[in-house]
């Protein structure tokens, strides 16, 4: 801005142009020009009270208004901004098109300057106030730390988890083996233990372990992550996709962790995760106790004074990791999980159920109601079955054992018991005789126990050890005939019958 009034004031006091130039930090020729132009329009110090800087400049430099009137046509900056989003479109191409329509328009450098100045005003940064105990921001750092396997010398990259409280900027950092779901949940549990309390809102990125469907309006939260949040009474509100400023606190926390923790450990070699986390904890203490540049306090002091009292207390037990899956009940009323089979009530055959797998238990839920809980087994190909989950007919079938069938036959009589026992013993496998024995026992309902007992006695005498023989005896009434000595076979005498003597020759 021109310092015209100050130049005229100093000149009225008798100062030389060089003295005025040194005082106003302008060239002495410029100071002389201001005074001459003022004299040419009849202005003397003191100036009129209603004459402001704009009017004064217009009086001294009337050609500036003329130049402004002849100013080149301003390009359509909104059109340029919109076109730049299209593939292959550049500022230079748009300038060529602009010059074709406006030959006397701005040159390329001024064209780019006008657009960039306009574009910078589009993205205003919102200064978000954070209430104490309200939000906890979490994310993984992009930088990793190598860990050397002592026995093989293999390098494994450890991931760095960072959590930052919104009001105090109090920071937690920890190394994990990977960014898998178990490591993600364990890092959250350790972070809450570190803070000694629970915030109201949890703000993660749209990573797959946290958000299964990153919808802008209704994102789907990973069931395990949601289970964790419900255990601690947290509300999960993920940042919008491609909007890092939604979680600017943790973005800054990640940057600080990379600069003040990971960079400080760059020359150290680590041989275990525990060793790395021990070193991170030492640097983290220093970071949280370092004074802010513009505040006469530290993260630790802010946390202790304003954040910790606002946090909700931790639950009595930390969250135990549990993975959620969906499974469809097979026709054998079992679901398969990691190669092992667990029973559910047979009424749920062909229904889809939710399964919560922890380290020691398997919980099956149907329509958000827990149906059954099993101890988890890691033996592949085996079954864990509760008897009450079977249909009644299956329960009865499984109760058929050789001993039970023999005891059941004994209720009819000793001969029935003896026949059933011989049938079971005569088969290569006892189960092969189950149906024959049950059929014989049920014949007592069609006839009578007394007739069945008599039929079994006759069957034993003639060694007819089968259901069909006993049923035939009862059907023909042979059980009611006396059991006498069997008639000898009649010897046939005939000239054509050679007899036994013939073959002894």
Q: What is the 3-state secondary structure (H, E, C) of 316-369?
A: CCCCCCEEEEEEECCCCCEEEECCEEEECCHHHCCCEEEEEEECCEEEEEECCE
Q: Do 229 and 277 belong together in one domain? A: yes
Read off the pLDDT of residues 350-389 as tens digits, 9 standing for 90 and up.
999 999 998 889 999 999 899 999 999 999 989 999 989 9
SS3 1: coil
Q: Which residues contact 264 (CB under 8 A, 6 or more apart)?
A: 283
pLDDT at 170: 94
Q: Determine the pLDDT at residue 297.
A: 87
- Residue 306 within a domain: yes
Place of tokens 């050679």: 498
Please say whether the beta carbons of 226 and 236 come within 8 A: yes
Please check whether residue 440 is in contact with residue 433, taking contact to mean a CB–CB distance below 8 angstroms: no
> What are 158's strand-pairing partners?
145
Q: Are strands 369-375 and 361-366 parallel, antiparallel or unpaired?
A: antiparallel
d(CA 410, CA 397): 19
pLDDT for position 70: 46
Q: Cα separation of 119 and 135, whole Å?
A: 32
Q: Which two tokens stand for residue 410?
A: 């004994």
pLDDT in tens, 462-504: 888 889 999 999 999 888 888 766 555 566 777 777 766 776 6
Q: Are residues 354 and 417 in the same domain?
A: no
pLDDT band at 400 (very low <50, low <70, confident <90, very high): low
**What is the separation, in whole angstroms, between the first and last Cα of the chain?**
152
Question: Residue 319: pLDDT above 70?
Answer: yes
Mean pLDDT score, 3-8: 81
Q: Is residue 130 part of a domain?
A: no
Q: Do residue 305 and residue 161 come from a single domain?
A: yes
The reported pTM is 0.59
Higher pLDDT, 491 or 217: 217
pLDDT at site 124: 60
Q: Is the pLDDT of residue 59 over 80?
A: no
| Domain contains 128 | no
pLDDT at 216 over 50: yes
In this predicted structure, what is the pLDDT of residue 194? 96
Q: Find the mean pLDDT for residues 292-318.
A: 90
Which of the listed residues 395, 425, 446 is the one where a domain comes to its end? 395
88 and 211 together in one domain = no
Confidence at 117, pLDDT banded by 50, 70, 90: confident
Cβ–Cβ under 8 Å, residues 458 and 446: no
- Co-location of 182 and 286 in the same domain: yes
Mean pLDDT for 395-404 is: 73
Specify if 11 maps to a domain: yes
Q: Is the dihedral of CA 481, 482, 486, 492 positive or negative?
A: negative
**Does one domain contain both 252 and 234?**
yes
Residue 406 and residue 391 share a domain = no
Number of independent structural domains in the chain: 5
Share of the chain above pLDDT 70, in %: 91
The backbone torsions φ and ψ at residue 407, rounded to the nearest 5 degrees and listed phi first, read -65, -35
The per-residue pLDDT for 65 is: 47
- What number of other Cβ atoms are within 10 A of residue 250's Cβ? 28
Q: 329 and 305, same structural domain?
A: no
- End residue of a domain, out of 395, 425, 452: 395
Give 31 or 377, the one with higher predicted confidence: 377
Q: Quick one: pLDDT at residue 250?
A: 75
SS (H, E, C) 451-491: HHHHHHHHHHHCCCCCHHHHHHHHHHCHHHCCCCCCCCCCC
Q: Determine what percent of the chain is predicted with pLDDT higher than 90.
A: 43
Domain match, 158 and 239 both: yes
Q: Which two tokens stand for residue 396?
A: 């009865």
Residues 159 and 278 in one domain: yes
Using a 10 angstrom Cβ sphere, with 0-12 exposed, 13-18 middle and 19 or more buried, the burial of residue 169 is buried
Q: Determine, yes or no, domain membership for 499.
A: no
Q: Please identify, among 343, 368, 395, the residue that sits at the C-terminal boundary of a domain.
A: 395
Residue 85 belongs to some domain of the structure: yes
Question: Which range (250-254, 288-292, 486-490) has the least confidence?
Answer: 486-490
Whether the predicted pLDDT of 92 surpasses 80: yes
pLDDT, position 68: 46
Torsional sign, CA 367, 373, 376, 382: negative
Residue 317 lies in a domain: no
* 505 domain residue, yes or no: no
Over residues 147-170, mean pLDDT:
92
Tell me which of 101-115, 163-177, 182-196 is least confident.
101-115
Structural domain of 24: 4-69
Mean pLDDT of all residues in 85-99 = 86
Q: For residue 283, what pLDDT is reported?
A: 94
Do 22 and 102 share a structural domain? no
On the question of pLDDT at 270 being above 70, the answer is: yes
Are 233 and 178 found together in one domain?
yes
Instruction: Read off the pLDDT band of 126 (50, 70, 90).
Output: low
pLDDT for 1: 47
**pLDDT tier for residue 192 given thresholds of 50, 70 and 90:** very high
Q: What is the mean pLDDT of the chain?
A: 86
Average pLDDT over residues 428-455: 86
């Amino acid at each position: 801005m021109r310092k015209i009034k100050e130049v005229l004031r100093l000149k009225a006091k008798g100062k030389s142009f060089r003295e005025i130039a040194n005082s106003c930090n302008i060239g002495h020729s410029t100071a002389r020009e201001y005074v001459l132009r003022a004299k040419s329009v009849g202005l003397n110090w003191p100036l009129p009270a209603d004459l402001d800087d704009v009017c004064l400049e217009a009086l001294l430099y009337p050609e500036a208004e003329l130049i402004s009137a002849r100013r080149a046509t301003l390009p359509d900056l909104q059109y340029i901004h919109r076109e730049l989003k299209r593939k292959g479109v550049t500022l230079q191409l748009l300038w060529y098109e602009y010059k074709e329509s406006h030959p006397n328009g701005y040159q390329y450098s001024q064209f780019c300057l006008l657009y960039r100045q306009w574009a910078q005003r589009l993205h205003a940064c919102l200064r978000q106030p954070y209430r104490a105990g309200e939000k906890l921001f979490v994310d993984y750092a992009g930088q990793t730390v190598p860990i050397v396997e002592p026995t093989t010398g293999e390098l494994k990259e450890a991931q760095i988890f960072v959590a930052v409280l919104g009001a105090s900027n109090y920071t937690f950092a920890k190394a994990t083996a990977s960014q898998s779901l178990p490591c993600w949940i364990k890092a959250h549990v350790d972070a809450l233990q570190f803070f000694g309390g629970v915030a109201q809102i949890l703000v993660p990125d749209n990573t797959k372990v946290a958000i299964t469907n990153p919808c802008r309006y209704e994102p789907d939260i990973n069931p395990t992550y949601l289970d964790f949040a419900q255990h601690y009474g947290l509300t999960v509100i993920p940042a919008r996709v491609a909007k890092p400023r939604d979680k600017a606190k943790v973005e800054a926390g990640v940057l600080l962790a990379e600069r003040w923790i990971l960079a400080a450990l760059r020359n150290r070699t680590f041989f275990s995760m525990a060793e790395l986390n021990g070193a991170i904890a030492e640097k983290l203490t220093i970071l949280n106790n370092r004074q802010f540049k513009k505040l006469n306090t530290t993260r630790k002091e802010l946390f202790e004074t304003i954040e910790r009292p606002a946090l909700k207390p931790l639950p009595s037990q930390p969250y135990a990791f549990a993975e959620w899956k969906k499974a469809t009940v097979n026709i054998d009323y079992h679901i398969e999980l990691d190669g092992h089979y667990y029973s559910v009530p047979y009424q749920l055959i062909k229904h889809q159920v939710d399964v919560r797998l922890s380290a020691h238990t398997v919980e099956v839920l149907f329509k958000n109601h827990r149906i059954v809980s099993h101890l988890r087994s890691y033996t592949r190909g085996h079954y864990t079955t509760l008897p009450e989950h079977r249909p009644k007919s299956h329960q009865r079938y499984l109760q058929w054992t050789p001993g039970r069938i023999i005891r059941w036959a004994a209720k009819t009589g000793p001969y029935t018991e003896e026949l059933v026992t011989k049938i079971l013993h005569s088969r290569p496998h006892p189960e092969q005789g189950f149906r024959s024995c049950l059929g014989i026992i049920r014949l007592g309902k069609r006839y009578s126990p007394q007739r069945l007992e008599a039929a079994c006695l006759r069957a034993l005498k003639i060694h007819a050890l089968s259901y069909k023989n006993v049923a035939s005896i009862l059907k023909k009434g042979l059980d009611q005939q006396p059991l006498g000595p069997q008639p000898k076979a009649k010897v046939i005498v005939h000239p054509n019958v050679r007899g036994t003597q013939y073959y002894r020759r």
